Amino acid sequence: MTRRRRIYEGKAKILYEGPEPGTLVQYFKDDATAFNAQKKGTITGKGVLNNRISEYLMQKLGEIGIPTHFVRRLNMREQLVREVEIIPIEVVVRNVAAGSLTKRFGIPEGTPLPRSIVEYYYKNDELGDPMVSEEHITAFGWAAPQDLDDMLSLALRINDYLSGLFLGIGLKLVDFKVEFGRLWENEEMRIVLADEISPDNCRLWDSKTNEKLDKDRFRQDLGNVAEAYQEVARRLGILPEAGPGDHTPPKLVQ
Ligand code: UDP
């Protein structure tokens, strides 16, 4: 058997060459990092849960017309995706104050924001992912003004849809980070959602108790990290134990 070619290894995922040209296999690891990789650890089962959660959310977003790189899940830890040219910008959407926003502006954690706030960060580990403005992004050519318009409107649509989806299962979407890529099809380029959407890059709090069910449990040493990710999957009705094709719909919380 020939070994697959590894295209790229990141902190939480590995990308392998896919079975057909223009495709990649995205492998989800159990590794976790925080604070620009100063804190490292392993969360047993995280990769399996994130693979399944991201599959579910990407499919749902696809159904409402958000173009994504997702093709299909292959197994417990891998999914097939379209090969895209990643735009080196992390788009963060915030609904409630948490994380770096609380530090930067001295706003207490948990303060609802007057409206959703979008921020951009330049993806560069050596520089610690600095926050950038639209001016930087277009002046330095990381994205064209039209690309940036598409990214902004997609990020806001993703926020609207996911906020409602999570609210329905008793979770508050505090903030999240998404990445986009350029997908080329016969000379035409489209901006599509790439990477993953999971508790690694969303803040999700229980609507009633504000219990954290996301990577902050790892960042802040709160314990029960895998259990929290599992609880998100359980509420979505997609616990991997249920087996493929055996999905119960998300449980509505009144
Ligand atoms: N985030 C991420 N990757 C990063 C930085 C942030 O996925 O490299 C996510 C993070 O999980 C949170 C949101 O983006 O849901 C906003 O993060 P913030 O700017 O508050 O930074 P943090 O406090 O996570 O360092």
- Looking up residue 57, the CATH number of its domain turns out to be 3.30.200.20
- C-alpha distances (whole Å) from 230 to each of 3, 113, 124, 205, 234 are 32, 28, 30, 14, 6
- Do residues 113 and 163 lie in contact, with contact meaning Cβ atoms separated by under 8 Å? no
**Lining residues, ligand 1, CB within 6 Å:** 90, 92, 98-101, 129, 175-177, 201-203, 215
62 and 120 together in one domain: no
Predicted confidence at residue 245, as pLDDT, reads 44
Predicted confidence at residue 3, as pLDDT, reads 76
Domain with 60, as residue range(s), is 6-83+224-236
103 and 148 together in one domain: yes
Separation of CA 73 and ligand 1 centre (Å): 25
Instruction: Name which residue sits closest to atom 24 of ligand 1, judged by CA.
Output: 99
Which residue, 65, 81, 97, is CA-closest to 28?
Answer: 81
pLDDT band at 247 (very low <50, low <70, confident <90, very high): very low
User: For 16-66, how does the pLDDT look when each residue is reduced to its tens digit (9 = 90+)?
Assistant: 999 999 999 999 999 999 999 999 999 999 999 999 999 999 999 999 999
Task: Determine how many CB atoms are found less than 10 A away from the CB of residue 100.
Answer: 14
Domain count, the chain: 2
38 and 98 together in one domain: no
